[in-house]
Each structure stands twice: as structure tokens, then as C-alpha cells.
Structure 1
């Protein structure tokens, strides 16, 4: 399966939208220019029903979700009837658990739900239980018809296939010790462990958090021309049962300069489907600047190729979590003392970022003096900063109160622009970057 032989969507962990055909939705006579109207959004075009004897654990039909949206300014449309013809499922799958909250009921093979649409309505009218002995292959179409007082009729058809693909994605271990600003390579790989092929192609969506993607692959779309965090690559099908592929070049994600943790992920899904939470990129999105990305066959039978927990026929995801060397970088956090001249006030001293033991030294701004609060002389569990060992110089602050310890001070006089400092105590062996171990302490005079 080469670059022209399969449709694949690769997602590097961020958020991606499905591209491809629009849902097959028909509106009788067209929607009038004015007046209330409803639309069906994100409907399935193809619905795979796993066979009852599927060897895949927890292999159940994906969620059949109906999303109705009302056209502004008519945000409320009441007493909407949603008629779902499930005749093609007779003897193949049994509807179960009708949505009682939306007054769904069955008469024969017809389900009818009564819905009040207030801006929008999202519901799952039924679940399906596959029946033994169903012949594999195309079974016809589920039809959805939406009617209501004063609105055009809306219809949608979903093609049903008995049997299902099981999309897998190659899992990768977490990475540690990544230098901020360094690049990480991730090569998407996916397969099909089901009994039914995917003819329409595959899409790979890539997302990055705490990192940016290099805009390289010429047949992929990116969310931004500079420092993108999402990519989408489409490949033509088929993806037959037992097949597995990986991209012939990796995606490279560059860790942010200030990142301590991050994630790069990709999601593989069937192309031309708009259901689910995946956001596809528009056709106008910037393309990569280099050669097109292709596919090459690999062995997808190992334990590292795994399906998602649910909706095996719809998508599979792989996540690369990473920690940078910045997790050892102790960073002091400054604070502001607020009050009037002559007042005694408390200020919270925030703990440093990435601390193990919250030991800090506070040098107060000019015009502010420390008030000692002996332990046991206050009613709360707060721990206050204390005079240093020498009795002068920086106050010593420590403790485990949520959010930080506290310092009690007296604002003796007004000194414009006065600044002190808070210093997080660390050693060069555990914190190689000590330039950010000190942060400012300022005064805000309130009167």
C-alpha cells in the first residue's frame, strides 16, 4: 500500500478534524431563507456491525449518535420527530436500550424519538447487539427522517456493513530527559485486525502539546504556516484485514523552550467520516514544504499494535508523552505585598515551581519589615517566615500550606519602586539552571 494506495489520517497529539465527504443529508425542497430549520451534523456515512462471533475483545458497534442543530435565530424547535428505519438490521443486530430520555420507542423495526431542540440536541437513540449467523458484507441502509412543526424535512442514510475493521495504532513508550528545544521523531503506524477491510481510505491526524511540528510533508495539511501544532495526512485505501503500514518518514516535534512536560500523538481513522470528536483541517490549510509522505508495509501483529478501548472500527490513537530536563529546573515565583503605610499585613509566598523541599529566602523591599509570628501563636496551620539564623538579612520560609507559605510584615514607609526578592534554595547538582531561582517581591500601596 503506497502513498497512492491507502487513505490514512495521522494526528500528532493536539486536536484534528476529519476531512472528506460531507454527510449524505437531504432537505426536502431546500431550507427556506427564513423561519426555523434543523440540520443533522456529524452523522455516520458507514456503520460497521461486528459479527456476534468476533474474536476481538469488547468488539461492539460504535455509538450511533444523532446531533440536531437549530438555525439561528430560531434556537428552540419543540416536538421534533426523529424516525429511524432499522429494517435492514432484522436478523443481523437487535436494537437495545432505547433512549427513554428523548421518548424513543420501537414499533416493529421503526424507532421514533420525540425531541425538543434548544439550539442543539445530541442523543444516542439505541445500542445494538449483533445476532449470530448474520451474513457478512453490505446490508442496506439505516434511514433517519426528521420532521417537525414548520420545519423542512431532513433525511440521512447510513450504509450498514456486517463485519468490522479493527483499527490499531503502534504504541510508543514515554520519553524522559528531552532537552527543551530539542526535536523528537514519531513515525505513525497502523493496521487492521478486523474481518472487514476499509475501502474508503484512512486519515492520520497528528497533534502536539508542549511542542510544535516541523511543516515538512508536502501532502499533509498543517494548522499554521509557522510553528504548527496539528497536521492531517490523507491516504487512499484500501486497508484490508491483516494489513499494517507505517509512514515512510517520521514527524518531528520540537519541544517548547519552556516545556517541562508535553505530548505528541496521532490518531488513525477512516476517511470521509465526520462523526466523533476529531477536528479535520480545511483544504485551504498550509501544506508541508517537502516531499510527500508515503506508506510502507510493516508487521502489525505484535502487542505494540493496539486498538482503542472503544469504537474499534472508527479510530485508534497512539500517544508519546515526554518529560524535559526542565522538570529539574527549580523556578522561584515572585509575589506582591499589598497594604497601607503603617499596616501589618500577611502575604502568601508561592512555592517555587518543580520544588521538592520548599525552602526559600525572602529579602523584603525597602520600607517593609518582618513581623515574627511564633509557632503556636496563630490558630491556623499556616507556617510563617522566620528571621534568618543571624537575626538579620533574608527571612527563612518553608512549610507545606497549600499554595505557599506566608510572611507577616509591617509597611513602615512608602518607598516608590522598592523591590525585594524571593530566592528558592537549590544546589547545582540538582538544578543546573540557577538563573531563575530568584524572583522579585514588590509592594502595592493601597492608600
Structure 2
């Protein structure tokens, strides 16, 4: 449900001017979501938490220059206070909706943090084990890295007007090439160089069929994913399995802790004690955000994705730009695949991308084709996945199967538009033929 209102126009405005006045939209969805979060906390967390127990949060990892002691909190009192915060946020969202004023995005972050904290307090209440916050956040970042690379690939391609369903195949082929080349060369760094080449090759196939031959882009993407799954599965069963020592040995990239920054409590071990691929994520997101909205390349890329005919009339080579951007997007996704093998210190496994390309696509949609918002969505998916791992480790009573389902449930809601109305680039998925 949404309401619209027109901003007042000057007294001398014409009827046409009044008819085209800017409309401000608000939605009840945030209110409903906040209220549901408060109800879950009130009806599940509060009754299920004993009144005389504590939850212990661990914020240290042992390598900081300032040691933070474990933080015990009274479980029930903490959950009740957080429930009040959630209920207050729901009331505030409703009042903003009545006043037809949109909510700031930070309200979503506040509600999310409050609900997750209440949930962690609930599952850790009265247990001898602590809630390891550094491990939780560091693992969430690690699991988000392939999703961030994949979502950035989707942004580059779809801002150009080409739907990239083949992110899954690009991730998988990048992981395969990185493991194969790194093992053969005896160096994870060499494998890292091979990954974007493999991803770019899949991107080139997508561009060839989708742009040159104007084949349905969704069908091409699905076919390419199936092709890469079959090809890598065949080579894994034959070449890699026959001689693991030569073709599929673990060749991890070394961690590169940044002096001083890596010793900052909580933040340091999470953000600044990582491999080169994680640091490349920071650079990629910042550069892409700037280039897409503040450079000539970005202006022309958005032009061919929104109105290719108009772009063509001012001399922009629409199809050439689309081909180059799809290949670039494939290379970016290939780097994400490298994180699955050399970036994580793992050997290649059959279908090890495990649907992460589709989750990256959902993160891009959830982020409204904007790099910085897509990163937040990818972090949300990574956090939800790692949350299940951590809770299984500390022995929580929550069924692990439910937690493993969480990223995919979020994906369904995101694609279904539950998070709000999203508008893709106008010419996305539409081949361009020069008239």
C-alpha cells in the first residue's frame, strides 16, 4: 500500500505544471516489517528467555592492541528493551507514513541491528559458550565477497542493458580456473590472474549471443550456467580427480594485515586482516560507484541501458559498449569465483558456487542497480549465512536447517519486490538494432 501527494506549486504555475508536480511516495511496508519484528521478539524471544540468566558477547580476537573483555548482559532485560525499540520504530514508521514522509535508510539499519541483537541474546541466554562477534562479522564478510563481486558484475552488465543471468557460471568458471592454474603453477597469485580471464570468457559468450545474435538474454544465461556446470564437472571428474597433486592442490592466498589498522578492536580483525581479494572489493565498490555516476564512461553506460536510440544519435556505439561492459562484468565475477578457491584456501569442488550467482543477482536487485546498496544487500546475505554456521558451532537450539534456508528466503522476498518497488534500466534485456 502506498500513498502519493503533490508538492505545492507556485501560484503562477500553469495547470500543466501542476499536473507534472513531483510526487512523493510512502509505503506501509516498513511499518509492517518493523511491527512483525517487534511481535516476533515479544511472542518468541521474551517468553522463551529465563529471567535469571545472562548472554555473553565476545568482542575480542586476541590480536588487538586494546583488549575488550567479554560483555555479559541480562538476557531478558536486554530483549525487552530491544522489543520496545522495535515497537517504537514501528510507531515512528507509521507516523512518517501518515505524514507522507519517507523513512531514512538508517532506520532500516537500526531495526535490523536491534532485531539481530535480540535474536543473538535469545539463542545465547544461559549458555556456557559466548557469542563470538568478531568471528560472526569476519565470516559474514568472507561469505559476502563472492556475492559482492557477482552483484557488481550484474550492475555493470544490466546498467548497459544486458541481463546477466550467467553470474553463476562466471563465478564457477573463475573458481575452477583459479584452482587449476594455481595448482599447476604452484602459486595462488597466478591462479588469481587466471580467474578474471575465465569469467571474461563466459561474459564474451554471453555478449556474443545476446548482443551480436540478439538471442533471449535470460535463456542464454541459463544455458551458459548449465554449460559451465557440465564442463567443470567433467574436468573435475577426469583431469582433477586423476591427479589432485598437480591440478587441484590447495594454494591459498596469504593474509595481508594492514599495520595498526588490523589491531583496532573489533573492526581491525574484520576489515583489515584479509587477503588481497577482500581489499579489491573495497576498491571495486568505491571505483564503480564513482565511475558509474561521476564519469563519462558511467554516463554513456547508463545511457545505453536506459535509452539506446538516444545514445546512438549522439555518437555512442551502443552494441560495442554493451559487449565491452559484459566482458568486463564477467571478469569481475571471475574474481569472485577466485575467492571460493584460492581466496578461501580450498581446492575446487563440483558445483561449489552453490547458487551464489543467483543470490548475487538478487543482491543487485535489492540494491536497485546501485553499487553501494548492492554491497549492503550482499553483506546481509553473507551475514545470514554465517549466522547459521556460528549458531551451529555454539550449540544453539535453533534448527540449523532453518538458518541455512534464511539467505534463500531473503532472496525470494527481494526478487518478489517485498523490499519495495524497484525499476531496472528501461532497455534492460532489449537488444538494440541500429535503424
TM-score bracket, shorter-length normalisation: under 0.3
**Structure whose CA Rg is larger:** 1
Name the structure with the higher strand share.
1
Tell me which of the two structures has the higher relative contact order, counting C-alpha pairs closer than 8 angstroms and 6 or more residues apart. Answer: 2
- TM value normalised by structure 2: 0.23
Name the structure with the higher helix share.
2
